[in-house]
Structure 1
Amino acid sequence: MTYRPATDRPDLDTLTLGVEEEFLLLDSNTGESMPVAAQVLGGLSGTAYEQSRQEFRHSMVEMVTPVVSDLTELRRHLVALRTAAIDAAEAAGARLVAVGATPVNEAHRTVPDEPRYHAMSQRFGPVAHDPAVCGCHVHVGLPDRELAVQVCNHLRPWLPVVQALTVNSPLHDGQDTGHASWRGMQLERWPSIGPTPYFDSAADYDATVADLIKAGIMLDAGMVYWYVRPSVAYPTVEVRVGDVCPTVDDTVLVAALVRALVATLAAEVRGGARATRTRGCLVSAAHWRAAHDGLDGDLVDLRTGHARPAWDLVDEMFALVTPALERQGDRGYVLDQLTRLRDEGTGAARQRRILERTDCDVRAVLAHLAAQTRPTPA
């Protein structure tokens, strides 16, 4: 898809949204990953089939919403897609679970029979055969590509906060890893995943990607898996830092905050503001802290370099984007959902409470996650 020229100035109060959610297919008795994605995808029909995608593991499916303009519409699509995928998974003998990383075991780690997946497997070896991980990717329509690159620069200090909101993968090999997002740890093994570098312009971005492809770090531009990027396929800013969220309302909350951040920061760019060139090692450290602590500890405030209570940064992010949320009509919903999240905790915190309550019964955790994955209508 071709980006419109930079002279086409999008209305920042009406930015569109789209969300991609990745799910694991698990055995309801053992919790192990089941390689039945082909059966699940084949069991979908109509819009659900059209909005589904094959993923990098036989135990994963991805559901992709259409482009929407408001949160009510987004929630409706998420409910419909999750429900269809859950029903297809059950028909295939599996349990669809919104969890960020393989919680117990992934016995079948071969890639689907696609040339690109085989090329990735050959190039990256054992890294390409790690247990499956599942993310939530939020697309915000921003057809001015030059503006999109600058917004990516401005997003860098806030992405660890977004990551902390979504942590939902404390388990690995049936044990608590001590990290709220084990997915975040697994992804660090890939050379083209991680914090987005600072770029002076779209030309600088494109030249860097071209250099990384020539150096063999990426097979193609589609392997730019940085935590935020101008999408390769769509005229959007794509934020891909988060674990897949346990509930539909968790997902809608993150999408609303991301859209409000993009609108707020795009306005700052238009006003002439330049993003701070924070050192890459500090940005990486901030993301490690977010993946480790989630919202239950401190986060690194990349504006100052100091560790601060996570919820202080969430509150400051909410204050920053409140004018955009108000213009979009989303403030009330977001405030209610942040209050709920403060009370219930992140997906990782919810899992750990069940582990504590059940003497580390992982099956109880997975049953809870499956129940959270199945949506209820608004």
Structure 2
Amino acid sequence: MTSTALHPAEIARSVSRLHLTVGVEEEFLLLDPRTWQNAPRADAAREQLPAAMRERSQVEFRRSMMEMVSPVCTDLPQLHDALRENRAAAGAAAESVGARLVAVGATPIGEPDLEVVDTPRYHAIARHYGPIAHDPALCGFHVHVGVPDRELAIQVCTAIRPWLPVVQALTANSPWHAGTDSGHASWRGIALERWPSLGPSPYLRSSAEYERVVAELVATGVMLDATMVLWWARPSSRYPTVEVRVADVCPTAAETVVMAGLVRALVATAIADIAAGREALQPPEHLLRAAHWNAAHSGMSGTLIDLRTHEARPAWDLVEDLIELVHDALDRHGDRVRVVLGLGRLREHGTGAERQRRNGTVADAMLSVSRATVTN
């Protein structure tokens, strides 16, 4: 990602006419189908992937995790096809080593092998952060939306902060912890609050301010190094994109695509606002963090915090507001029908967490999710 001498509003006016690209990284658990405990077989499963699919896989922090990455896509049908290919290939590879690929946001029962994957970086993280680096595995999915300028990307990350708790609630898919209902819709969201370099990004206006804040956090030891910028939205360190990292991995590829389309529309709307000179909303930090905690706790089954008014409102009312906010961007990218219908299905059938709870037991829930992971 490059920075130019142009003012971000000038860049935004140019970028706002573009069809933004989208890509997705999805993290999955490998579970033992007899016990539904985590199975540390990721290396063996990756070896079973066809060569082309192996290029789409990445080594993750835990031996029980597989990550699959989509190509850069221009439309949602293309993304859906890529994600289904990824999941089918990873699911077959997992089966070949005696495991199930499961799209669930947190370890449901337990992880016998708590060692990190053997890389210098992962060992350095484990030494620096201690026991929290040995928590059972957590799985999210990351949406990358093409934003070619770094200054603009930083302003976009600031602009979308008030709506990321809604995305978090919609994707809540990890109610289980240690074999029982945690009482939270996204145990992943709750557990990740222990990491000091995760959570909502600060309110940043420029790359200079971004670099200063990161340097201060590294100097204080909060971040091991600059690569530990793991905020819910950040300018990617590898790609010319804004990366949104707040979501639990979705049970199905279809749901992932709906969420990716919604995030792309949110980013495009932020760019349009920047082009028009509209100032980003700056909610109080305590309320922003409370909104994320509440989203992880309740999912879509109760209220969410409206960061425009500082009031609790029915969760689906805020989703309707979000759709209205981004409707121009949805139309411009040709995504309105797919996203609106997908959110309608989610409202009818429930989030991943709600559907898991309806299965009754952890084992029944994992069996159901493992089937959905590779078939939808």
TM-score, L = length of structure 1: 0.96
Deviations 1:128-178 (A, max 9, x none): 000000001000000111111111111111000000110000000110011
Unpaired runs of 5+ residues, structure 2, are: none
How far 1:225 sits from its partner (Å)? 0.7
How far 1:6 sits from its partner (Å)? 5.8
**1:372 aligned partner:** 372
**2:355 aligned partner:** 350
In structure 1, distance between residues paired with 2:75 and 2:168: 23
In structure 2, distance between residues paired with 1:126 and 1:145: 34
**1:260 aligned partner:** 265
In structure 1, distance between residues paired with 2:228 and 2:56: 21
In structure 2, distance between residues paired with 1:25 and 1:366: 11
Contact 1:100 1:169 (C-alpha < 8 Å) held by counterparts: yes
Contact 1:58 1:112 (C-alpha < 8 Å) held by counterparts: yes
Percent identity for Structure 1 against Structure 2: 55
SS in 2 for 1:158: helix
**2:226 aligned partner:** 221
**2:95 aligned partner:** 90
Question: 2:288 aligned with 1:283, yes or no?
Answer: yes
How far 1:110 sits from its partner (Å)? 0.2
Contact 2:201 2:232 (C-alpha < 8 Å) held by counterparts: yes
Deviations 1:83-128 (A, max 9, x none): 0000000001000000000000011010111000000011111010
**1:358 aligned partner:** none
How far 1:254 sits from its partner (Å)? 0.4
Which 4+ residue blocks in structure 1 deviate beyond 3 angstroms?
A: 6-9
In structure 1, distance between residues paired with 2:77 and 2:5: 30
- What residue identity is the alignment partner of 2:344? T
Contact 2:218 2:225 (C-alpha < 8 Å) held by counterparts: yes
Contact 1:134 1:243 (C-alpha < 8 Å) held by counterparts: yes
Unpaired runs of 5+ residues, structure 1, are: 356-360
Aligned pairs for 1:134-173 within 5 A: 134-173=139-178
In structure 2, distance between residues paired with 1:252 and 1:181: 19
SS in 1 for 2:166: helix
In structure 1, distance between residues paired with 2:80 and 2:227: 28
In structure 2, distance between residues paired with 1:5 and 1:39: 44
In structure 1, distance between residues paired with 2:2 and 2:100: 39
- What residue identity is the alignment partner of 2:309? T
Given the alignment, which residue of 101, 126, 129 partners 1:124? Answer: 129
**2:214 aligned partner:** 209
Deviations 1:309-357 (A, max 9, x none): 00000001011111111111111111111111110010000001111xx
How far 1:73 sits from its partner (Å)? 0.5
Between stretches 339-348 and 4-13, larger displacement belongs to: 4-13
Given the alignment, which residue of 74, 77, 80 partners 1:75? Answer: 80
In structure 1, distance between residues paired with 2:16 and 2:45: 39
**RMSD of aligned C-alpha atoms?**
1.1
Question: 2:186 aligned with 1:181, yes or no?
Answer: yes
Deviations 1:236-287 (A, max 9, x none): 1100000000001110000000000000111101111111222111100000
Distance 1:156 1:227, change over 3 A: same
Question: 2:108 aligned with 1:103, yes or no?
Answer: yes
How far 1:4 sits from its partner (Å)? 5.0
SS in 2 for 1:25: strand
How far 1:11 sits from its partner (Å)? 4.5
In structure 2, distance between residues paired with 1:226 and 1:266: 19
How far 1:12 sits from its partner (Å)? 4.4
In structure 1, distance between residues paired with 2:344 and 2:5: 38
Aligned pairs for 1:321-340 within 5 A: 321-340=326-345
Question: 2:63 aligned with 1:52, yes or no?
Answer: no
